[in-house]
């Protein structure tokens, strides 16, 4: 045989071609089938050929593909936790053989009874089976487990997973992150593709409160990814898999009503899930819908400090104290459709569609004490934020030959965050009316330098306790007064954001031999984004500016007003009485009418919008071309290696504008500006999975991942927000670099025979070019300014360990055998260097990564027996840095304090198809607190009460 010489530059393609030719010509037969149980498809079921060690596991839809190197009689052994092992005799013919649907029955023992009668056990088995057989290091939640706790959106559903932390927004989780890393470092996926984000702050992390939990089939949390997964996932990835076609006809409905202890008002939710198969099971249909309507409320106490002053001793003095009340309504609507058509055992196509809508309607009432300007301030705003998430995907799976399988997907997902108020002005956005009242008598608790401090910060110890706030007005009768509060500013804050992702993906899987599987593919994503961030349309009255002959300022009491929403009390979380800050607001319609052009003119208002405001509007595109190749190699009967590489090339273009000031006097000019940021990410990865025995796995992994900069961080413009106590100027940074990380993981798993798991491991990350939000402070003409801009920091490291156990105590006697626990803990230690200059000297501060908690802990105690299920869940997230102040140092970092919430649920089976349930959230009424440097130096604290509901679920067909 002649030798063949291959040029080096073409060797990779020729090698791949040779492998494909070998795969196509090797003699092998393929057996395909679907494994089902009473509860539907069985993911992670084991399928082996008798007499050999060759086997496979079913996918999320219970489907399997196995190759055999013989024809004629073949015996398959099919097994699944808690089910009888089935021996299936097949006559195998050359080519592709269809084994059809294989149904397993529960065992006759105690474990089988638990699976048949339990409400939680079947979902736990599914999740553990998927985890056990996965190539990546991951955790899994199944849909029926999500419903066992009062988790009503996608973020709340995933908070129970080991190593996952959530951000809470006024009492509801709205974003999630893996291993406590910054939220943007976790890739949020829908059916394997990045979910577009309409995050109002311009972040890439998706806001998940628009996604009802009822439309989710599985949640996969990957902590060490494989090359066939999206590579922008330093923390990990969370893949929400929506419902698809069922194994058999199913129909269930649920309805519940509840109560919010803060708003003193009702809540309700309902859902419907219908699935069926038609045309001799070729066509599968799944339809799911949900609605969640709830009243809610929050008291938020916020303190701003004079960090912009040049005197270091005064930088911890108090600028303003604000007492803010939210009282509103939230509505979540979701619908999901899944279609699947199976032409034959080798070919099927599928479609998934999604329509979600989230409305956040909340009048907001803000009462300020402004110490620097000796005045009261009162803001009223009517917030009606709307978020939509719509889209769909079409795909197919095809067995091209006995050894080559192909799948493809094209998708289009669109999300938008927008406001449609006020209706009387073409400038849509968030309307804010600001009233001010001069405090003429001064304050009686100031320090000798004339500043207000808390007692522990004051040079003389004069001040007070931030959580027992006393405004310190010298004249006790000089309270906020509607006849003295005059309208001095009208603002429309524009926050619209929309993003659309169009994606195409193609994957091939080649069974090169009984021990080697090859997988390779390509993905292309085109992202369109448009945003208006930090744009404020500002109207000011001539009288406030000292313009002669201007109409008098409008007192609050001369406008149409409505009652203040007292409900169960006002700021009961603080010590003291704050009733004087409850000011009856103007009506919603009165607020809108103030923006009418004729009304503005009549009352002497003119447009004083900053000329730089136009720089807040941008459009952009991001094109990502990705390709990967990986091999799954059985090195021995117990040791598997997954090795490969992924490459992602990003071409980023943003169209905006920038402002320049030239001449004397300064004249601001707005000019178009385009930012381009193109870069490549080469991501090698390797996993080792050692099966110690049938119940234990040991895993090790090296992965390289990265994170792209946010759109708004790259804009060439700047925004000005003057609605708060400080004027905030946000600037873009077109020179930002992506963040890269080398990740090392070592994990062990032991699966109990009676449904359960004990696991633990360690992980380490080397991170370069960390992006953080830097803030600089200064004071000019008595006004405090904050300049915010994203920057790259030096390298960082993150190390941690995690451990968890899921165990049923069925060894206990009698009724105690229904007890069990799910406990997991994650410890994380990270370090990043923050350089700064003090008196001309360069120093370095060391801190943890933003948003990263040192301790994460989940605990679930449950009881399940004879149709009764009770669960009590605790979720703990330790303190974390939120904002790094590079200019002033660690004493001025903003931290989120530790938070521990307790939830509970109970379910009782009335019949085999009807169950009633009750749910409670935030039983301990845990507040959310942030602080500056010292835990005593409160930056914000908010209270939002508890909520609960009770309802019924009817499995009409199951």
pLDDT at 214: 73
Q: Is the pLDDT of residue 928 over 60?
A: yes
Burial of residue 360 (CB within 10 Å: 0-12, 13-18, 19+) is: buried
Give the residue-averaged pLDDT of 915-935: 92
Q: pLDDT band at 27, cuts 50/70/90?
A: low
Q: Over range 140-151, report the average pLDDT.
A: 61
pLDDT band at 319 (very low <50, low <70, confident <90, very high): very high
> Is residue 950 within a helix (H) or strand (E), and if so which, with residue range?
strand 947-957
Q: How does pLDDT run across 633-666, given as a tens digit for each residue?
A: 999 989 999 999 999 999 999 888 877 766 666 6
Say what the pLDDT of residue 23 is.
Answer: 43
pLDDT of residue 19: 46
Cα angle 317, 877, 136; round to 5: 135
Asked which of 24-38, 735-749, 819-833 is least confident by mean pLDDT, the reply is: 24-38
Give the residue-averaged pLDDT of 63-75.
89
Question: Residue 568: its pLDDT value, please?
Answer: 81
Output the pLDDT for position 608: 92
Neighbour count for residue 13 (Cβ, 10 Å):
10
Share of the chain above pLDDT 90, in %: 54
Over residues 840-858, the mean pLDDT reads 88
The predicted pLDDT at position 13 comes to 41
* 473-511 residue pLDDT tens: 999 899 999 999 999 999 999 888 999 999 999 999 999
* 422 prior amide bond cis, ω within 30: yes
pLDDT recorded at residue 606 = 95
Beta strands in 51-94 (DSSP E): 55-57, 63-68, 72-79, 86-92
Residue 786: per-residue pLDDT: 73
Q: State mean pLDDT over 758-784.
A: 83
Q: Is 40 left (phi over 0), alpha (psi -120 to 50) or beta?
A: left
Helix (H/G/I), strand (E/B), else coil: 512? coil
Is the Cβ–Cβ distance between 927 and 298 less than 8 Å? no
Flag the least confident range among 305-319, 530-544, 584-598, 709-723. Answer: 709-723
- pLDDT (tens digit per residue) in 82-93: 888 999 999 999
For residue 81, name the pLDDT band (cuts at 50, 70, 90): confident
- Cβ pair 586, 595 in contact under 8 A: no
- pLDDT at residue 106 greater than cutoff 60: yes
Q: Give 574-631 pLDDT, tens digit per residue.
A: 988 999 999 999 999 999 999 999 999 999 999 999 887 777 888 999 999 999 999 9
The Cβ-side half-sphere exposure at 744, using a 13 Å CA radius, reads 8
Q: What is the pLDDT of residues 188-246, one digit of tens each?
A: 888 888 888 887 766 777 767 667 777 788 888 999 999 999 999 999 998 888 888 88
Look over the chain and give the mean of its residue pLDDT values, rounded to a whole number.
87
Per-residue pLDDT at 781 exceeds 80? no
Q: Which of 124, 126, 106, 146 is nearest to 43 (CA)?
A: 126
43 pLDDT higher than 80:
yes
Cβ atoms of 951 and 256 within 8 Å: the answer is: yes
Task: Please provide the DSSP assignment of 126-187 as one string.
Answer: HHHHHHHH-SSEEEEEEHHHHTTTT--BHHHHHTTSTTEEEEEETTEEEEEEETT--GGGEE
The token pair at 191 is: 């059916």
Listed in order, strand segments (DSSP E) in 424-496 are: 430-438, 486-494
Q: Residue 116 has what pLDDT?
A: 67
752 phi and psi, to 5 degrees? -70, 150
Report how far apart, in Å, the C-alpha atoms of 288 and of each of 106, 207, 376, 687 are. 28, 21, 50, 37
pLDDT of residue 253: 92
Model confidence pLDDT, tens digit, residues 125-137: 888 888 888 989 9
The larger pLDDT score, comparing residue 653 to residue 17, is at 653
* SS3 call for 686: strand
pLDDT at residue 316 greater than cutoff 50: yes
The residues, any chain, with a CB within 8 Å of residue 556's CB and separated by 6 or more, are 378, 435, 482, 483, 485, 486, 487, 583, 586
Q: Name the region of 604 (left: φ>0; alpha: ψ -120 to 50; beta: rest).
A: left
C-alpha to C-alpha distance for 822 and 806, rounded to whole angstroms: 4
Query: Which pair of structure tokens corresponds to residue 205?
Result: 């992390």
Is 870 or 781 the better-scoring residue by pLDDT? 870
Q: How confident is the model at residue 468 (pLDDT cuts 50, 70, 90)?
A: very high
80 or 367, which is more confident? 367
Taking only the tens place, the pLDDT of each residue in 426-439 is: 888 999 999 999 99
* More confident position, 573 or 624: 624
């Amino acid at each position: 045989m002649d030798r063949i010489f291959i040029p080096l530059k073409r060797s990779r393609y020729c090698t791949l071609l040779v492998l494909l030719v070998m795969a196509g010509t090797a003699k092998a037969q393929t057996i395909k089938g679907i494994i089902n149980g009473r509860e539907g498809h069985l993911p992670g079921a084991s399928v082996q050929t008798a007499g050999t060690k060759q086997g496979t596991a079913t996918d999320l839809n219970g489907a399997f593909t196995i190759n055999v190197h013989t024809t004629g009689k073949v015996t398959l052994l099919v097994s699944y936790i808690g089910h009888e092992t089935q021996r299936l005799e097949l006559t195998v013919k050359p080519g592709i053989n269809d084994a059809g649907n294989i149904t397993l029955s529960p065992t006759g023992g105690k474990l089988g009874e638990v699976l048949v009668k339990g409400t939680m056990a079947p979902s736990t088995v599914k999740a553990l089976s998927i985890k056990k057989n996965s190539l990546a290091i991951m955790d899994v939640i199944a849909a029926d487990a999500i419903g066992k706790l009062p988790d009503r959106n996608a973020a709340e559903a995933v908070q129970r997973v080991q190593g996952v932390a959530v951000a809470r927004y006024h009492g509801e989780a709205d974003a999630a992150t893996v291993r406590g890393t910054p939220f943007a470092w976790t890739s949020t996926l829908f059916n394997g593709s990045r979910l577009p984000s309409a995050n109002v702050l311009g972040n890439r992390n998706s806001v998940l409160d628009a996604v009802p939990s009822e439309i989710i089939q599985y949640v996969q949390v990957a902590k060490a990814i494989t090359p066939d997964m999206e590579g922008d996932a330093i923390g990990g990835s969370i893949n929400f898999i929506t419902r698809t076609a069922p194994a058999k006809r199913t129909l269930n409905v649920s309805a519940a009503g509840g109560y919010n202890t803060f708003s003193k008002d009702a809540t309700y939710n309902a859902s419907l899930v219908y699935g069926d198969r038609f045309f001799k099971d070729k066509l599968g249909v799944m339809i799911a819908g949900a609605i969640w309507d709830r009243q809610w409320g929050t008291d938020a106490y916020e303190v701003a400090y004079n960090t912009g002053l040049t005197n270091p001793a005064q930088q911890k003095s108090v600028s303003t104290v604000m007492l803010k009340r939210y009282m509103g309504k939230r509505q979540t609507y979701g619908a999901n459709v899944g279609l699947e058509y199976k032409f034959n055992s080798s070919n099927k196509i599928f479609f998934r569609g999604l329509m979600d809508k989230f409305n956040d309607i909340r009048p907001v009432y803000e009462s300020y004490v402004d110490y620097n300007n000796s005045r009261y301030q009162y803001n009223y705003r009517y917030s009606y934020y709307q978020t939509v998430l719509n889209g769909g995907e079409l795909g197919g799976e095809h067995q091209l030959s006995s050894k080559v399988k192909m799948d493809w997907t094209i998708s289009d997902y669109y999300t938008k965050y927008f406001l449609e108020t006020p209706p009387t002005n073409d400038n849509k956005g968030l309307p804010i009316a600001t009233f001010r009242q001069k405090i003429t008598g001064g304050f009686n608790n100031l320090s000798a330098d004339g500043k207000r401090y808390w007692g522990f910060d004051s040079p003389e110890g004069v001040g007070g306790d931030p959580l027992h706030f006393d405004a310190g007005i010298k004249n006790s009768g000089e309270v906020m007064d509607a006849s003295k509060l005059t309208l001095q500013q009208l603002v429309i804050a524009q926050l619209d954001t929309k993003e659309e992702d169009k994606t195409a993906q193609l994957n091939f899987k080649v069974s090169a031999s009984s021990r080697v599987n090859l997988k390779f593919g390509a993905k292309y994503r085109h992202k369109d984004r448009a945003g208006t961030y930090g744009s404020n349309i500002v109207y000011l009255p001539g009288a406030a500016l000292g313009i002669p002959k201007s109409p008098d300022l409008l007192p609050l009491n001369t406008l149409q007003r409505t009652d203040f929403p007292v409900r169960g009390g006002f700021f009961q979380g603080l010590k003291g009485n704050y009733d004087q800050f409850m000011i009856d607001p103007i009506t919603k319609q009165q607020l809108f009418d103030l923006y009418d052009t004729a009304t503005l003119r009549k009352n002497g208002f003119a447009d004083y919008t900053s000329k730089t405001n136009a720089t807040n509007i941008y459009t952009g595109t991001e094109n990502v071309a990705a390709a990967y190749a990986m091999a799954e190699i059985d090195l021995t009967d117990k040791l598997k290696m997954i090795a490969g590489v992924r490459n992602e090339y990003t071409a980023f273009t943003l169209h905006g504008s920038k402002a320049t000031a030239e001449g004397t006097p300064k004249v601001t000019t707005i000019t178009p500006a385009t930012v381009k940021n193109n870069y490549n990410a080469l991501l090698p990865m390797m996993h080792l999975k050692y099966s110690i025995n049938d119940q234990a796995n040991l895993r090790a992994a090296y992965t390289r991942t990265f994170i792209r900069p946010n759109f708004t961080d790259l804009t060439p413009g700047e925004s000005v927000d003057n609605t708060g106590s400080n004027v905030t100027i946000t600037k873009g940074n077109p020179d930002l670099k992506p963040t890269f990380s080398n990740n090392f993981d070592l994990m062990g798993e032991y699966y109990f025979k009676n449904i359960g798991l004990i696991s633990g491991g360690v992980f380490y990350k080397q991170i370069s070019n960390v992006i953080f939000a830097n803030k600089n402070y200064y004071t000019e003409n008595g006004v405090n300014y904050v300049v915010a801009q994203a920057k790259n920091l030096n390298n960082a490291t993150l190390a941690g360990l995690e451990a968890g156990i899921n165990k049923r105590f069925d060894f206990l006697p009698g009724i105690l055998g229904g007890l069990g626990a799910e406990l997991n803990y994650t410890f994380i230690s990270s370090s990043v260097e923050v350089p700064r200059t003090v008196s001309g000297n360069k120093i370095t501060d060391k801190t943890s990564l933003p948003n990263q908690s040192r301790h994460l802990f989940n605990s679930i105690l449950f009881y399940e027996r004879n149709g009764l299920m009770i669960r009590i869940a605790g979720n703990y997230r330790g303190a974390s840095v939120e904002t790094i102040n590079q200019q002033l140092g660690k004493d001025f970092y903003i931290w989120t304090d530790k938070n521990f919430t307790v939830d509970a649920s109970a379910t009782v089976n009335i019949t085999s198809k009807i169950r009633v349930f009750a749910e409670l959230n935030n039983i301990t009424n845990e507040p959310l607190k942030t602080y500056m440097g010292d835990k005593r130096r409160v930056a914000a604290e908010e209270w939002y009460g508890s909520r609960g509901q009770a309802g019924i679920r009817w499995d009409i067909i199951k």
